Each structure stands twice: as structure tokens, then as C-alpha cells.
A and B are shown apart, each in its own frame.
Chain A
Amino acid sequence: MTIREIGDLLDARVLCGKDLDVDVKSACGSDMMSDVLAFVKHRAALLTGLVNPQVIRTAEMMDMLCVVFVRDKTPTIDMIELAEESGIAVLATSKRMYEACGILYANGLKGNGELHG
């Protein structure tokens, strides 16, 4: 599923992202960054309701492609700049976490995470 398709399915605004046609292979939804860091995912998207720069850094450490902020959470300019520097696309949707995850899952984007180690 491409970042563009994720945006369309979630009626999301694209806040940054140069290439929206890259293929996302897995996803996770969490407000707890250490839980995100525990699971290895490839070419992943992160759905979260947490807004602080550590969300972008966590995504960067995990080589994630995309961060989706749910329930109308809006990231700061600093966070968007950080994401741009790291080549991470940032989207924002008014949908809630459960609904956003469900829509993506039902459309074929599975978790595919493995606990590392």
C-alpha cells in the first residue's frame, strides 16, 4: 500500500513527504514509543496520537516511511522539519486510532511486526 493510498483511505492531510508512491509493507499503532521500538518492521507506517519530536525520532530509528497522526492531532513545525530531514512522510487524519488502524488493516496493510531477539 502506498503512502498516497493510506492518505486517501484515512481522508488524511499530507503535511510533508516527497514521494507518496513508495510502498509501505507494515504498520503499527501506538502512543508508547518503547513498544514501537520493540518490534522490528520493514517499510513501516506508524499511527499515533502522541505529539512530540520523539515520535519522529522513533520513526527514524526504525527506518519507518510514514507517520500518521490520528484524531486531529497536529504536529509542530519543528516536527515536520525533522521528518523532512529524515525523509519521513507525515499525515494527519481526524479518524481515531482504532478506526484508522482498522481501515488500513481491512485494506490489506497488516502488522507484520516481529519481536526482536
Chain B
Amino acid sequence: MGESLAFHYEVDGGDFTSAGQASVKIKKNLRQLGVDAETIRRVSIAMYEGEINMVIHANGGNADVIVDDTGVTIILADKGPGIADTEKAMEEGYSTAPDNVRSLGFGAGMGLPNMKRYTDDMKIESVLGEGTTITMKVNF
């Protein structure tokens, strides 16, 4: 590739049914770039969980994806309530999602652990009342 490519998506917070559209698009974009299937799967699952989180907790946000020689970086930024205890939020099964989200198949406290599981690097920056930015990288 030689140079880096950047993609930007807006994640609509109003509609749970449309959550995941940005991940579908990035999946197609990475496929067009000839990225290998395993990397695409890891990127799209991590981003999908992140997108769902932004819809559930933060009324949407922005997703930026940068592809360079070393891998794929995903930056998910929202202006939601922030995460009070990021360490606790990383525990499998810990969730602050409302009950109705569980009936939709999410909110089981697996989102952040899954994002960490599928990426080589993950950083959470969160300020209560201001928002959360999650940066993840999947190396080639």
C-alpha cells in the first residue's frame, strides 16, 4: 500500500436497527483494498461491538478507520456519559446497559472484552460527562 488511507463514518445514535452500518461499509472497503479475510473479520467485529456501544450508551458518535502498512486503526469517539470505571467495564459480564438492550441480543457485558479480544491493541480514554474515545489496532 505504501501510504495510509482514512475512512470516516458517522454512527447514528437514534436507531438501534441501523447500528452496524459503518462496520458493514468498512468491511466492504477493506475487501476492496485486498486486506486478508481474517484481519477484515477482526476489524469488523471489534468495530461492530463499538458501534453498538455508541448507539446503546452515547447516542451515536464518529468512527474513523486508518489503514497503513502496519495494520488497521479504529478510532471510535462519542460525546456520551463516559465510563465511570473502565477496569470494571472490561470485565466479562459487567454491563450498565438497560434491560431492553438485552432483549435485542446485546448488553451482556461482552462488548468491550470482545473488542479487546479481536484487536492487538486497545486504549480507552473516557471523561465522565464528556465522552469516550476508544482506539484499537489490528496489526497485519
Q: Which A residues are closer than 8 A to B by beta carbons? A: 31-35, 37-38, 40, 50, 52-55, 57-58, 60-63, 78, 115-117
A-B contact pairs, 17 of them (CB 8 A): A32-B110, A34-B105, A34-B108, A37-B45, A37-B49, A38-B113, A38-B114, A52-B17, A53-B18, A54-B52, A54-B106, A55-B105, A58-B105, A61-B41, A61-B44, A61-B45, A116-B118
- In the assembled complex, the CB of A56 is this many whole angstroms from the nearest CB of chain B, namely 9
Total count of chain B residues near the partner, CB < 8 A: 28
Minimum CB distance partner of A79 in chain B: B17
Residues A62 and B45 in contact, CB atoms below 8 Å apart: yes
- Across-interface contacts of B114 in A (CB, < 8 A): 34, 37-38
Partner of B105, one of A33, A115, A116, A117: A33
Residues B110 and A54 in contact, CB atoms below 8 Å apart: no
- Across-interface contacts of B52 in A (CB, < 8 A): 54
- Across-interface contacts of B118 in A (CB, < 8 A): 116-117
